[in-house]
Structure 1
Amino acid sequence: MDRLDRRQILRTTGVAGLAAVGSLLVAEPAAADPTPAPTAETADALKPKDTVQQADTVARLLSFDPARLADGTLAQVAGYHAPGDGGGMLVRWDAASTLAHNGGTVLAPGQAAKGRWLQIHDGVGDFRRFGHFDGKTPADAALDAMVGDPAIHRIEAHTDLLFVKRHTFSRSDLEFDFGGHTVRTDGIEKAGQDDPFAAVLLFRGKVTGTVVTHKLTAVMPDLSDVFEVGDSSKFAVGQWWAAEVNQLTGRWERELQKLVQVTQIVDGSRIRVNYKNGWELAAGRTITWTRVEPVERVHIRNMVFFGVEGGDQYTGSHPVAYEYAVSCDVSGIEATGTFWPVVMRRWCTHFRTEQCTLKNPASVTWGGAGYLTQQIYCLYGHVSDCHTANSRHLNDFTASAYCYVENCHGDGDDQGPFVTHGQYEHDLVYTGNSGLMTFANSGAAWGSAAKRITVRKHVCSWFVARVKVTDLTLEDVQVIGKPSLQGSGMIWVNADGVQMRGCSASDTLIISQQSARSGRPNIIDGCTFALPAKSEIAQANVTSPVHISRSVLTGLDGNTWNGTGELRFTDTILRARENAAPITVAAATLVLDGCTVKGTGLRLAGKADQRIRLEGGTELSGAGALLSRADATGAVTWELAGHRSVASGADAVHVLLESGRNRYLATGSLFTGGKLTLKAAAFGDGSYLKHTGNVEEGVTRTDLPEDGPRVQTTGNLVV
């Protein structure tokens, strides 16, 4: 008869028939087979290798007598421990194989020196085919066997699992799907000291010995993707390299640390890579290139993970880490009680972390512990739909760029869900998230620098970007304080190209300046801030101009603006507490255009010359001195052009000038009630006073000097 192919055998051989054939191969004696003995004509067709054998379980399969098995024999196993338990498989007998028995893809009968049953699969591995069904016995060997099988591209778990080893792999093109089942690590081996990569699953690319070092001969500008390398013949299109510039003052302070791919050999000394550098590099800086063979396309999904209860840096556990990896995604991990970050990445490019959660990690105070995900030297990442509870950081970027975080939320967030280290991060975007946020706040050892970060539609209890954060953009960021966190309700930003639109803070606004890299203006537009009494709004180091427009500042009482850069208010309301002290301003130039200052006054206190201009119908009202100056050596220029001043009571003073050098010009303004006090001592050498063309309604003039060459107070409408 003609030889039957495998599909014909599977179609035509029933279970009972397979059982009968399989029983002939069992080593122990069996009952006589009533089937007539094969004739010479049919003997060849009935050889075992041409018939699919059957075994109820793996144990039954391994009881077959190897001596009676022809090379290539196929066997269908109905279940691992029992028929139908999900651990069934198709296997092939390889009479010459000496592979080590692993309980799943390689099955060795007894003590046979050679001859193995090899699992036939379609590239999908299953822990049940290694006998794991309840998470009570360690599945580490099964994991190693499946990852080590290059024919397997997908590994599935259909039951809970236990791992007691920390695994490091370097292969690519693999997907894990744990099917929403629980992974535990009770009794896991100890990790090394301070090793956040000691995960259950670490995928690490290979770092080769090929290293190229080159000192830049010219400035490399921001956003350049063409790099000097000295000799471009050492590079090839498609290769991956870890590029690292030499450090600056800080121990870890480098503007460039990225895993990039060569996309073009530009000429004999330059290459193009798939990354636009985010920071200018000066001539003379040295870039070291190390060729890497990254892990690629390894994805891990749908795991419920429990860390070791009470674990520390040695005994704690976490599920996933990647290093030197490209296009490796993680989704659907629900973690509880981990120590190091649930998803740890370093030197990674192109990745997604989605729909992951972390609750109650083992520590939120140990450096690096208690994170959902941390990315170090990473590019092109997307983190979305994640959540943390009572954790340290939901998302941490260190020296990373061109990444996007959206719809992620942290509660129990006093430790700060959203952070960057300040190691020259750039071009990061956050949209629709909630939770405390701080940028570039880890210290000078990293550089305290970040650039072009955008935050949209964010709700938090605290927002701080106080160091060298350049070109920060905030849109619809709402900061709402809470009693459990001292200092919450605060926005603190760096006046280096900061732009805020539609934002609010329930307690504090602080503006400082640690850098001056940006060419764009500092703009606060359409925002509202409630301020504590006597708080410093701008620190003395603010030397760049700040423009606040169409905004509302409330709770003012003795607040200070100590920055010396120009301060401009447009269509803005400044509302004070009852009986408030004046706002003290040190800005070299203060302009209010179309503004309302209600319940308080403005007191100039700069150490150098100052200028103040009120225009566009700006209105001041209050019971104290609405415009005044502190004793100082600098001259103050007063330009009151078409503003309105309303004194609340007879003792209120529109303008109080008693000393110093003053250049005073008021025209087209309206003064109602109260006093106007312009003493002669305030208009000596280098001063002038012109108060004309105004309307004074019920105003009492006190101590005005007589008109003369440098003084003119006539020509007003006095009613």
Structure 2
Amino acid sequence: MEGCKRQVENVAALKLLQPGELEVGETIWVRGYATAGDGGAKAAMWKPGCETPDDGGLVHAPAGGGKGRWMVLHGGVGRFRYFGVFGADIAADDALEAMLADPSIRRIEADCDLNFMRRHRIGRSFIDLDFNGFTVTTAGIEPAPPNDPFAAVFFFSGEETGDVQRVVLSASLAELEERFEVADAGAFEVGDWWIVRCDRRSGGAERELEKLVKVTEVTDRTHVRLQYKNGWALEAGREIEYRRVKPVVQANVRNMKFVANGATEATGSHPLAYEYAVECDAVGIDATGTYWPVVMRRYNTFYVTERCQLLNPAEVVVGGTGYLTQQIYCLYGHVRDCLTSNGRHLNDFTGSAYCHVENCHADGDDLGAFVTHGQYEHDLTYVGNSGLMSFANSGPTWGESAKRITVKQHVASWFLAFRKVTDLTLEDVHVFARAGVENSHNTGSFWLNADGVQMKNCTAEKMVKFKQASARSDRPVVVENCAFALTAGRRVSQEEVASELTFRECRFTAADGNAFAGSGSVRFQDCRLEGAGPDALPIRFAGSELVFRGGEISNSGFRLIGGEVRLEVGSGATIIGSNGEKAFFSRSKEAGPGAASWSFDGAISLAADRTTAHFSIEDGGAVRDCFVRNSSFKGGRFAVSEGAFGAESCMLYTSNVERGVDRSALPPESASIRHREGNVILPACT
């Protein structure tokens, strides 16, 4: 009211004032929109000669027509109550459009619940929509176009300018390169935003590069520096397309409770979508019953999605539905402190990079709370979240590829990263079995691509399983300080795994007839391997090298079923108990072609009964050499079938201690087979 010479009761009374009686710049206090005190009070200033259309809230024309307008003094903050919207009984669409059309308004605030009946496409930058915790509904909203996840109530979108340039790479574009080749650098200016996209690798959507990036330097006539380090190398001859865009900037939506209506793509609703957007945040959106994602993003850069929730979406089976947030071709995003219940995905990245997900949690997450689509995502980090994870698992159309994903301090019922996921890092990740849900037999397990994956301090209640869909990494596959329970009869590594697997200070429990079925080597350092019981079957091993140093094997063992293989056991490794095949280490008659090399050096082997073999080499198992040194054996027996050692084979058994071992099945000594001299052979303790 300060500065106002007089007052009127409402907007209608304001409009009845005669222009000829008004002073230039005169300010009048309007006590209410329809009636004094109804909440629509505002100050309005007379602007003679103005012909701006009356918008019903910020601009009022005299009732008698003519020039001159009452301009509401809003101080850059628009309010729905200026338009007489005091609740959801009056549609808020016209008021919203009017406030967005005024460039002097930088903030729009709600003072009550609101209902919207239209789907708004917004090109405004530098605008905040703050709903102050009030509820937004969409009763009677117009139908959405078919299969359009951008048909949100509030869709902020920049635009393509029509400037397009294409270049065939004259030299390879290296990984982590930021200087990009262009056809003519004269078309680029520092600060411009461009969509940069490479050609497809296949007939699908398999592109390694597609992002919204800013030009930071024009380096020469055919190169520009972009605000992005390329995640995937592109070879010479590949084509890159550049499309210049004008993005929306700093268009933010905050503090909304959203209640959707309708269960189909036509009748359903969701609050927010962004395309060609920079620094656009979604904060405090609490949605119920949505169809498409609550926050849909494509070509977004530098953004935060924070303190958002989704409860019981209307649809979760149709692809793209029931998400909290989907992010396509996005960069530098931060998703934090978000929740979902009974949704499809809490967080989905498609073709995105350099993003961070923190302290987000999902219940009813059987469809996968945290996913990547597999369209060449890279450099993503997840910290302190809970919910099922599935990376690069949407099929070959997209490339099934992701790189340098890090997950820390996570709990889940299932963890899937068995497609072309390269250099995955897992720390303090724990998977727990769940009963009574779809795929309950797979819960409690890791499924991982053996391509540079590294794990530390992780646990699984049922299984860890390695597959090999790619071999791009220079990193070794290393698993440290982890604990895995195994499910009887299931493979720890699939047949296609050729990578070397290294386990350090890990514990495996409930082993029973499991298998390392791949051709690669497997190394155990200071690990504990526990069978499910004294009758559990040993682990089948088909690889080229098995090393077990330090640690302990109890009520289990290994049966070599592959071809050419090297076995090394020692450095204090202890083997105790028995198993269902009565042999700690054995070579199958059915083993593939090739000979085996056996080495025991510093091993301690304690058989639970006289029939359990410390090692068993069956006829036809083809031995190249067998070296047993500095080891001790108690109870049990040695089992070597006649004919296991051929003419070019050798055995050296020396500097060992035996107590009560049945050695009657060792082969006769010869120039190439020695197993008596240099050992301490003691009877069984009485």
Flag whether TM exceeds 0.5 (same fold).
Answer: yes
Structure whose CA Rg is larger: 1
Secondary structure at 1:481 match in 2: coil
Indicate whether 1:693 and 2:625 are aligned: no
Distance, in Å, in 1 between the alignment partners of 2:197 and 2:187 is 17
1:89 corresponds to which of 42, 64, 67: 42
Deviation at 1:329, TM superposition (A): 0.6
Q: Deviations over 1:100-122 (max 9, x none)?
A: 32210122333525433222221
Q: TM-score, normalised by structure 1?
A: 0.91
Distance, in Å, in 2 between the alignment partners of 1:697 and 1:194 is 75
2:612 corresponds to which of 636, 652, 676: 652
2:587 corresponds to which of 584, 609, 629: 629
CA contact (8 A) 1:580 1:599 kept: yes
Q: TM-score, normalised by structure 2?
A: 0.96
CA contact (8 A) 2:465 2:492 kept: yes
Indicate whether 1:183 and 2:136 are aligned: yes
Indicate whether 1:567 and 2:522 are aligned: yes
Indicate whether 1:241 and 2:202 are aligned: no
Secondary structure at 1:141 match in 2: helix
Deviation at 1:564, TM superposition (A): 1.3
Indicate whether 1:640 and 2:595 are aligned: no
1:614 corresponds to which of 569, 575, 579: 569
Structure 1 unaligned spans of 5+: 1-8, 14-51
Distance, in Å, in 1 between the alignment partners of 2:586 and 2:577 is 13
Aligned ranges 1:271-670 → 2 under 5 Å: 271-308=224-261, 310-485=262-437, 486=440, 487-578=442-533, 579-606=535-562, 608-623=563-578, 624-631=582-589, 632=591, 633-659=593-619, 660-662=621-623, 663-670=625-632
Q: Aligned letter for 1:212? A: Q
Distance, in Å, in 2 between the alignment partners of 1:691 and 1:111 is 114
Distance, in Å, in 2 between the alignment partners of 1:85 and 1:634 is 91
Secondary structure at 1:227 match in 2: strand
Kindly report the root-mean-square deviation, in angstroms, between the aligned alpha carbons of the 2 structures.
1.3
CA contact (8 A) 2:585 2:614 kept: yes
Deviation at 1:337, TM superposition (A): 0.5
Distance, in Å, in 2 between the alignment partners of 1:420 and 1:705 is 57
CA contact (8 A) 1:678 1:702 kept: no
Q: Aligned letter for 1:394? A: L
Deviation at 1:655, TM superposition (A): 1.1
Q: Deviations over 1:659-712 (max 9, x none)?
A: 221121111111110111112310113322222221111011233221112211
Distance, in Å, in 1 between the alignment partners of 2:570 and 2:174 is 42
Distance, in Å, in 2 between the alignment partners of 1:83 and 1:685 is 110
Deviation at 1:250, TM superposition (A): 4.9
Which residue number corresponds to residue 705 of structure 1? 667
Distance, in Å, in 1 between the alignment partners of 2:152 and 2:53 is 26
CA contact (8 A) 2:560 2:587 kept: yes
Q: Aligned letter for 2:295? A: V
Which residue number corresponds to residue 717 of structure 1? 680
Q: How many residues align?
A: 670
Distance, in Å, in 2 between the alignment partners of 1:72 and 1:163 is 35
Distance, in Å, in 2 between the alignment partners of 1:692 and 1:682 is 20
1:681 corresponds to which of 643, 656, 659: 643
Distance, in Å, in 1 between the alignment partners of 2:649 and 2:577 is 27
Q: Aligned letter for 2:471? A: A
Please identify, of 315-324 and 649-658, the stretch whose mean Cα deviation from structure 2 is larger: 649-658
Aligned ranges 1:54-73 → 2 under 5 Å: 54-73=7-26
1:264 corresponds to which of 195, 199, 217: 217
Distance, in Å, in 2 between the alignment partners of 1:122 and 1:703 is 97
Please identify, of 251-260 and 630-639, the stretch whose mean Cα deviation from structure 2 is larger: 630-639
Distance, in Å, in 2 between the alignment partners of 1:87 and 1:351 is 34
Distance, in Å, in 2 between the alignment partners of 1:111 and 1:313 is 46
CA contact (8 A) 1:661 1:686 kept: no
Distance, in Å, in 2 between the alignment partners of 1:53 and 1:375 is 53
Q: Deviations over 1:265-301 (max 9, x none)?
A: 1111111010000011111111100001100011110
Q: Deviations over 1:299-336 (max 9, x none)?
A: 1100000011x421111101111000000011011100
Change in 2 beyond 3 A, CA 1:250/1:605: farther
Secondary structure at 2:131 match in 1: strand
Distance, in Å, in 2 between the alignment partners of 1:627 and 1:524 is 23
Distance, in Å, in 2 between the alignment partners of 1:265 and 1:84 is 59
Deviation at 1:201, TM superposition (A): 0.5
CA contact (8 A) 2:211 2:329 kept: yes
Which residue number corresponds to residue 253 of structure 1? 206
Distance, in Å, in 1 between the alignment partners of 2:398 and 2:475 is 25
Structure 2 unaligned spans of 5+: none
Q: Aligned letter for 2:594? A: G
Distance, in Å, in 2 between the alignment partners of 1:101 and 1:576 is 81
CA contact (8 A) 2:588 2:618 kept: no
Deviation at 1:99, TM superposition (A): 2.9
Distance, in Å, in 2 between the alignment partners of 1:481 and 1:110 is 71
Q: Aligned letter for 2:445? A: M
Secondary structure at 2:220 match in 1: coil
Q: Deviations over 1:123-171 (max 9, x none)?
A: 1100000101111111100000001110100000010100000000112
Deviation at 1:650, TM superposition (A): 1.4
Please identify, of 697-706 and 111-120, the stretch whose mean Cα deviation from structure 2 is larger: 111-120
1:134 corresponds to which of 77, 87, 92: 87
Deviation at 1:448, TM superposition (A): 0.3
Distance, in Å, in 2 between the alignment partners of 1:280 and 1:345 is 25
Which residue number corresponds to residue 36 of structure 1? none
Q: Deviations over 1:515-560 (max 9, x none)?
A: 1111111000000001110110001111111100101000100000
Q: Aligned letter for 2:509? A: T
CA contact (8 A) 1:471 1:498 kept: yes
Distance, in Å, in 2 between the alignment partners of 1:677 and 1:300 is 74
Distance, in Å, in 2 between the alignment partners of 1:95 and 1:706 is 118
Q: Aligned letter for 2:503? A: I
Distance, in Å, in 2 between the alignment partners of 1:381 and 1:470 is 21
Q: Aligned letter for 2:256? A: M
CA contact (8 A) 1:202 1:320 kept: yes
Q: Aligned letter for 1:183? A: V
Aligned ranges 1:12-161 → 2 under 5 Å: 52-110=5-63, 112-161=65-114
Deviation at 1:565, TM superposition (A): 1.1
Q: Deviations over 1:154-196 (max 9, x none)?
A: 0000101000000001121011110000000011001111100
Distance, in Å, in 1 between the alignment partners of 2:200 and 2:543 is 37
